[in-house]
Amino acid sequence: MKRGYIVSGTDAAWGVAVVATTAKEAKKISVAAGEFLDDEWINIKSHWERDVDVNGLHIGVLRDLRKGLFRGFYNYIESKCDNCGVESQVEAYNNKALCFDCMEKEYENVR
């Protein structure tokens, strides 16, 4: 059974989205893909993200951050806002990647 994992280093400031069947496999895939050095193997951890949608994804590293955002791997990413085009932290909202300001405007329009 495929699952979504975030594999991260000891500082846990960032993580790599990986589709795998086990946490150990997710670590191996991320090291083999060059995301971590071989000697970092001991210092990386893999966390199963239970709400991630992995349907249709292949086992391996998910390099498309936007796809990772919409699939639930990430809460936010650094990217251009779909509404205003400003490069900032964006979150998935109504099938768009929106900055905080545009997300507030969209929310106000719904109310």
Residues 53-106: pLDDT tens digits?
999 999 999 999 999 999 999 999 999 999 999 999 999 998 999 999 999 988
pLDDT attached to residue 32: 87
59 shares its domain with 81? no
32 shares its domain with 80? no
1 shares its domain with 42? yes
59 shares its domain with 82? no
> Buried b vs exposed e over 71-105: b needs ≥16 C-beta within 10 Å?
bbbbeeeeeebbbeeeeeebbbbeeebbbeebbee
52 shares its domain with 28? yes
Query: Contact at 8 Å (CB) between 4 and 72?
Result: yes
| Higher-confidence position of 58 and 37 | 58
Find the domain containing 80 and state its range. Answer: 76-111
How sure is the predictor about 35, in pLDDT bands with cuts at 50, 70 and 90? confident
Q: What's the whole-model pTM score?
A: 0.85
Query: Contact at 8 Å (CB) between 63 and 82?
Result: no
Number of domains in the chain: 2
66 shares its domain with 84? no
36 shares its domain with 58? yes
| Higher-confidence position of 108 and 57 | 57
